[in-house]
Amino acid sequence: MKDEALSIAMISDFFYPNVGGVENHIYMLSANLIRRGHKVIVITHSHPPDRVGVRWLLPSLKVYYVPFMTIASSATLPNYFTFLPYFRTIIVREHIQLIHAHASLSSLGQEGILHAHFFGVRTVFTDHSLFGFEDAASILTNKLLAAALKNVDAVICVSHTGRENTVLRGQLFEPSEEDPSLSVVRSSVYTIPNALVAEQFIPSPWPQPLETINIVVISRLAYRKGIDLLVATAPRICAAFPNVNFIVGGDGPKLNDLLQARERHLLQDRIELLGPVRHRDVRDVLIRGSIFLNTSLTEAFGIAILEAACTGLYVVSTRVGGVPEILPQDMISFANPDEDDVFRALSEAIDIVTRGAHDRLEAHARVTRFYDWAHIAERTEAVYDAVVRSESIDFETRVRRTMSLGPFAGLIYTIILVVDCLFFLFLEWWMPRHDMDFVREHWKPDVFAEFAHKAQSSGEEAP
């Protein structure tokens, strides 16, 4: 499928040393693209005092930590211009052909999309989250997203629901080819799910005891994760099923509610609170249980659900966002975000597990078949190929598309676009390209293989 190896820069505010869904997605995708022969670098903001400059991560993933201040939740301030000097130097030095920005709240990514056309670099954007349309924060960030996505070459979303959401938020419509009066969704909007490393989530080799059933919850204890539903349902389940216990991992503002409920119903020995769980310890917690409960009120993809299903747990989840798309009906029970319905779904799940109708090893094998990073990387590569083959957007079209944002926002963003061009010309004069040091690649995969082979054969010859 691939024509030639590409040089790709992943740009996002969210990357290691922070831990989370987006961070892991970028790392796994990069690693698998490198495995497929591409060159991948990551550009993110620095984490003073020690995570600054350029770092290498296994397997040969170069990370640029650009010195930017963060404002909140590891996001940088959107300012449209200050990233350009860094961006220009990195893109030119590394011979980047395509940038892939991640997460709609990452201003670094959006800025990269704005600057990329100066260098003939193509742009892909992945959206990882769902947003509404009613509160002031959503209205503002949706406008920023719409502005950034006016001139992006392709958009990837992690679920079908996420794609519908992103199409509406980013206004990804264009006039139809047959009838210009109609508008259709751009053909460059893709759905490519997340994946997981199934080897990290192998079920427990020992059979689960049937006399006690553990229900596992691993989640940030916040309102959006529906902890109110958990607080309401857990005591009812404990009262109805004397052999069912809860194991709750995670920390957050709703921890107090949970502690109070536990104390009020005298369930200290039935509801175990683990506090924050590191990602590498998640499997050890999961294998203690038979049922995984997710009470989120909104969820774009629900990677935690997949991890639990992969570890062989039966899943009970609220029917929100992209969750109904990720697992077949016989591996998951859905509930409406309603206390009584969560209770009903949990009771059904306890019945299924008690009957022994859920096979852990088979569940693991199925999830392994469904989701595989190598497969996801291949599908993403197809998007890159389509983008590289497509015609790039000329400046006039860019201005026209930006102006279509609206009478005020359109004008503002067009001014930003033009000022950005002037800033770029100034940088070309001030820091000419011929003065730059270019990165030369010594360690291409085939060279590496040759050296490895040589080392191996010389090792065999030596005594």
Q: Give me the residues that bind other proteins (CB under 8 A), please.
A: 130-134, 159-162, 164-165, 167-168, 171, 173, 176-177, 182-185, 187-193, 224, 226, 228-229, 232, 295, 297-298, 300, 318, 320-322, 324-328, 336-340, 370-371, 379, 382-383
Give the dihedral sign, CA 127/133/136/140: positive
The minimum distance between CB 380 and other proteins, in angstroms, equals 9
The minimum distance between CB 440 and other proteins, in angstroms, equals 35
The minimum distance between CB 171 and other proteins, in angstroms, equals 6
Q: Which is nearer to other proteins, 11 or 154 (CB)?
A: 154
Q: Which is nearer to other proteins, 51 or 379 (CB)?
A: 379
Q: Which is nearer to other proteins, 91 or 323 (CB)?
A: 323
Q: Which is nearer to other proteins, 151 or 171 (CB)?
A: 171
Q: Which is nearer to other proteins, 176 or 397 (CB)?
A: 176
Question: From the CB of residue 309, how many other CB atoms can be counted at a distance below 10 Å?
Answer: 28
Dist CA 136 CA 128 (whole Å)? 20
The minimum distance between CB 26 and other proteins, in angstroms, equals 19
Grouping H, G, I as helix, E, B as strand and the rest as coil, residue 149 is helix
Q: 106-142 in b/e burial notation, b at 16+ Cβ within 10 A?
A: bbbbbbbbbbbbbbebbbbbbbbbbbeeeeeeeeebb
Phi then psi for 55, rounded to 5 degrees? -130, 155
171 φψ region: left (φ > 0), alpha (ψ -120 to 50), beta (else): left
With tokens 């392709």, the residue in question is 154
The minimum distance between CB 189 and other proteins, in angstroms, equals 6
Grouping H, G, I as helix, E, B as strand and the rest as coil, residue 39 is strand
The minimum distance between CB 229 and other proteins, in angstroms, equals 5
Q: Which is nearer to other proteins, 118 or 131 (CB)?
A: 131
Give the dihedral sign, CA 443/445/447/450: positive
Residues 363 and 309: beta-carbon distance below 8 Å: yes
